[in-house]
Amino acid sequence: MSTKRALQSEIRQYRNAERLLVLGARVPIVMEMTQLSSWFLRKLSLEIRGEAPRKGQVPNSDQWYLRRQNNLEASLFCALYESLKKYAEAGTDECALLVGAYSQVRADFGAAGAAVGMSIDRAWWLVKSLQIKNLRRARCRVCQGRYLQAWSRLERNFLCWECRQQGYTVAGGRAPRRVRRGAAS
């Protein structure tokens, strides 16, 4: 690698680290994405956020994404991530996609007056879970929206919560009117 390219790559790593830390990412995750040292990242985190970086385990479970509200956020994140990836310039790194999609989810929820429950750490784990095929995006057969689903629970006639609430059933068609709203979910 030429000196200039090496320098550009190094600058990009620092920028990525800064973006991730501003969004509240844990140090081990920033380390993995930037190859910068733990010591340096802890110092940078302290400088950026004015507090010591958070401790504790990084996310490693897929169950969180399958709860209703979390699933909506996570599914929106996936859609934005895929869209960014599709139109990204050649050479765009995964960190830029993660930060870009996550920032957009926060902006969308913020515009609607809601806070996002999904942390940047969970967004990071979500990308991994999709890559290793723990989770997949299933298309609802009624509204055609795509929602996260465990890979092991693949359903041919997948129905999202909203459509179940409307009375649609997995077997096909719509449930009789006597089915109370919510009773079908």
Residues at the site binding Zn ion, with contacts judged by CB under 5 A: 140, 142-143, 160, 163
Alpha carbon of 80 to those of 11, 88, 99, 102, 183: distances in Å? Answer: 26, 12, 11, 8, 32
Q: Structure tokens of 157?
A: 């006639």
With a CB cutoff of 8 Å and minimum separation 6, the contacts of 95 are 16, 19, 20, 33, 34
Q: Structure tokens of 15?
A: 């920028």
Closer residue to Zn ion (CB): 50 or 173: 173
Helix and strand counts by DSSP (H, E) for the chain: 7, 2
Closer residue to Zn ion (CB): 105 or 140: 140
Q: What minimum distance in Å lies between the beta carbon of 123 and Zn ion? A: 23
Closer residue to Zn ion (CB): 30 or 160: 160
Q: What minimum distance in Å lies between the beta carbon of 86 and Zn ion? A: 23
Q: What minimum distance in Å lies between the beta carbon of 156 and Zn ion? A: 15
Contact 161, 153 (CB under 8 A): no
Q: Structure tokens of 147?
A: 């929602």
Closer residue to Zn ion (CB): 79 or 142: 142
Q: What minimum distance in Å lies between the beta carbon of 158 and Zn ion? A: 8
